[in-house]
A and B are shown apart, each in its own frame.
Chain A
Amino acid sequence: MRAGGGRGTAEMRSVAEADLRARNRRRRLGGIARHVFLALVTFLLVAPFYYVVLASLKNSTEIFTYPPKLLPIPIFTGNYEKLIFHTGFPRWMLNTMFVAGTVTLVKVFIDSMAGYALAKLELTGKRAIFLLMLTLLMVPLGALIVPLWSLTSTLGITNTYLALILPPLANPLGVFLMRQFILGLPSDLVNAGRLDGLSEFAIYRQIILPLIKPGLVVLAVIIFTDQFMSFVWPLIATTSDDLQVLTVGVAALRAHGGANYGLWSAAAVMSLVPIGIFFFALQRQFLARSLAGALKQ
């Protein structure tokens, strides 16, 4: 730095310092305003959860009392006992985990294979297939209720796990994500593998898969959460109680057996526990879901 000399420079420096101080103060105030705003927004978004957790720990008379107690003392666990021992809730949860887990596993596998084919392999009509998938990307299962139902009943799989698992496999989102990831890998890697005499499958398994692992995790998170939340198709595909998934079971809880706010609140809280744990553990991948998933169904 150059040494400042003479009065003019010193004055200039003090003006500059005052200016800097003012700007810092403004910046600090702006920072506080931002935190206040965000605190308010997150409070509004999170308050409903607190209200429901609170209700789930109250008995039915306490839920209706005014003014409401802001802390559930004494804690009442009857709602949770009833939910776990007297409804199908544990079974619904198992079904959801099984179906969502299977769909995720299969999908990660077939989507990454298809993505590899579209990114690196020689294929006539590759562009046409890609465009077709892109065009149909957003068509939801909910718009295809009639033909899908008749299709599954023709295949004889209504009221089986297969009916829950197979249709969601059609969603092309994962193929795009995987294609995008694999396109980013240098083709030289693939060619080197070929020169070393690896089969295409060995190249996929030993070179491609390890390199796109982060993408696979993001894809798995996207598919699992979508599956965890899906409702229309599971509602239609199954009528048997044993096959109900979480969302369908919870909706049935609401539709049948009269108003039972205590039980409903316990069901709402318990439904959020697994996804909450996943979210906490895989926060970064979940947020990536919002970015990659710009294309999500």
Chain B
Amino acid sequence: MIGAVPTQIEALAGRRLRLPAAEHRRLRRRARLRRELTAWLFLGPMFVFFVVFLVVPIFGTLWWSTRSGGITSGTTDVGLANFGRLPDLVGATVAIQNTFAFALLSVPLILVGALAIALVLARVGRGASTYRFLVYFPVLVPGVVAALIWLFLTNADFGLFNEVLRAFGQPPVTWLGSDTALPVLAVLDVWRNVGYWAIFFVAAIIGLPQELYQAAELDGASGPARFRYLTLPLLRRILLFAVVVATIWGLQVFDTALVLTNGGPGTATTTIVFRVWQYVFGSNDKVGIAAAISLVLIVAILSLTIVQLRLLRSRRGGD
């Protein structure tokens, strides 16, 4: 009989291995504790750095935002007064405005450009790897170096931009003037980041289901129609993701503004991080304000991240 064999084994095992219930529980608890401890040994090193240098500083920013004074000279508690002062402090509000204006200018240009490049790049066979290499190269340029390069492009006397204008018989332009500096900074960011998102989109486009495109072609859908009714809807989540992440990166702009224009002319390219840096190390009574505007940045980034996480979760739910 088939059923008899397991029964015998169970009987055997029961006789040999049965422990008192309390003893059994104790052993199980101990084994579990050991496994937990092992897991923490693995997670621990990274987790300590994560808590000390990321979680604690975020709360630290909260604490500093209630202080008044300098970072080295000692501070006093002023409660929420810094936030009350913020709207009247032109230097701070201008920085916040510039940062958001910068993101609003650069992010759409980056993503539209990247999508255009990706749509073409995804359909190229020969030479694709060369194009990818060249398109991606500016991504690897540190912001400081990129700004240095753009000093050569935007220089009023011998810069490449004005040389080109001159070749077409146009008058030279002051590229880093107070009206143009922020847009130029945004275009610099496009130059640096368009390749990153182009490569990102290429992977997404190649992953789209080909059957849909074949069906659309059979139905006589034109290229633009396929883009409008297939590619865009299929890429919706990917695009939303890119908008959020590119905006988060855009809000952090600092190094290019420092090297290309030093925040100027005037305050035309003074961004949040730039201002924080100035307030902390260039003045001895504004560390609280610096923390308060850092907090604006942190809150903006965290809200965008949470939007992002909800999007990802709804994708998981929808599949």
Asked if residues A113 and B131 are in contact (CB atoms below 8 Å), the reply is no
Asked if residues B302 and A236 are in contact (CB atoms below 8 Å), the reply is no
Q: Contacts of B60 on A, CB cut-off 8 Å? A: 144, 146-148, 150-151
Asked if residues A51 and B45 are in contact (CB atoms below 8 Å), the reply is no
- Chain B interface size band reads 35 or more
Asked if residues A122 and B297 are in contact (CB atoms below 8 Å), the reply is no
| Interface: A84 (CB within 8 A) | no
The interface residues of chain A, by DSSP majority, are classed as helix
Asked if residues B58 and A232 are in contact (CB atoms below 8 Å), the reply is no
Q: Contacts of A268 on B, CB cut-off 8 Å? A: 145, 148-149
Asked if residues B245 and A250 are in contact (CB atoms below 8 Å), the reply is no
Could you mark each residue 290-315 of chain B with 1 if its beta carbon is under 8 Å from any beta carbon of chain A, else 0? 11001001100110111001000000
| Interface: A192 (CB within 8 A) | no
Could you mark each residue 3-44 of chain B with 1 if its beta carbon is under 8 Å from any beta carbon of chain A, else 0? 000000000000000000000000000001001101110110
Asked if residues A146 and B120 are in contact (CB atoms below 8 Å), the reply is no
| Interface: A214 (CB within 8 A) | no
Q: Contacts of A133 on B, CB cut-off 8 Å? A: 50
Known: A123-B40, A143-B61. A45 touches B153 (CB 8 A): no
| Interface: B281 (CB within 8 A) | yes
Asked if residues B138 and A45 are in contact (CB atoms below 8 Å), the reply is yes
A140 to B309, CA, bound (A): 17
Asked if residues A114 and B254 are in contact (CB atoms below 8 Å), the reply is no
A271 to B143, CA, bound (A): 11
Q: Among residues 5 to 57 in chain A, which have CB atoms less than 8 Å away from a CB atom of chain B? A: 31, 34-35, 37-38, 41-42, 45-49, 51-52, 55
Closest-by-CB residue of B relative to A39 is B131
Asked if residues A48 and B42 are in contact (CB atoms below 8 Å), the reply is no
Asked if residues A116 and B42 are in contact (CB atoms below 8 Å), the reply is yes
User: Interface size (A, Cβ < 8 Å)?
Assistant: 92
Closest-by-CB residue of B relative to A124 is B36
The interface residues of chain B, by DSSP majority, are classed as helix
Known: A38-B124, A122-B32. A149 touches B71 (CB 8 A): yes
| Interface: B1 (CB within 8 A) | no
A80 to B263, CA, bound (A): 29
A45 to B131, CA, bound (A): 11
Asked if residues B294 and A113 are in contact (CB atoms below 8 Å), the reply is no
B35, B40, B120: which contacts A34 (Cβ < 8 A)? B120
Query: Which of B87-95, B103-111, B196-204 forms contacts with chain A?
Result: B196-204
Asked if residues A250 and B200 are in contact (CB atoms below 8 Å), the reply is no
Q: Contacts of B173 on A, CB cut-off 8 Å? A: none
A229 to B139, CA, bound (A): 10
Known: A51-B152, A52-B149, A144-B58. A279 touches B45 (CB 8 A): no
**Closest chain B CB from A128 CB (angstroms):** 12
Q: Contacts of B64 on A, CB cut-off 8 Å? A: 146-147, 150
Asked if residues A147 and B61 are in contact (CB atoms below 8 Å), the reply is yes
B39, B61, B157, B287: which contacts A144 (Cβ < 8 A)? B61
Query: Which of A71-79, A163-171, A183-191 forms contacts with chain B?
Result: A163-171
Closest-by-CB residue of B relative to A199 is B38
B40, B53, B145: which contacts A167 (Cβ < 8 A)? B53
Closest-by-CB residue of B relative to A142 is B273
A45, A65, A139, A265: which contacts B54 (Cβ < 8 A)? A139
Asked if residues A123 and B43 are in contact (CB atoms below 8 Å), the reply is yes
| Interface: B115 (CB within 8 A) | no
| Interface: B101 (CB within 8 A) | no
Q: Contacts of A175 on B, CB cut-off 8 Å? A: 46
Known: A136-B58, A138-B305, A144-B61. A232 touches B254 (CB 8 A): yes
Known: A52-B152, A140-B252. A290 touches B42 (CB 8 A): no
A245 to B55, CA, bound (A): 26
Asked if residues A45 and B163 are in contact (CB atoms below 8 Å), the reply is no
Closest-by-CB residue of B relative to A235 is B277
Asked if residues A204 and B163 are in contact (CB atoms below 8 Å), the reply is no
Asked if residues A146 and B276 are in contact (CB atoms below 8 Å), the reply is yes
Closest-by-CB residue of B relative to A150 is B71
Asked if residues A117 and B54 are in contact (CB atoms below 8 Å), the reply is no
A-B contact pairs, 29 of them (CB 8 A): A34-B124, A41-B117, A42-B131, A48-B138, A48-B149, A48-B152, A55-B152, A64-B158, A65-B158, A68-B163, A110-B49, A113-B46, A114-B42, A114-B46, A134-B305, A136-B58, A147-B64, A148-B53, A150-B60, A150-B71, A151-B57, A200-B42, A232-B255, A251-B259, A261-B151, A276-B140, A279-B136, A287-B199, A290-B200
- In addition to A122-B35, A171-B54, 9 A-B residue pairs with Cβ atoms within 8 Å of each other are A31-B124, A41-B135, A48-B149, A51-B153, A118-B43, A122-B32, A144-B54, A231-B144, A290-B200
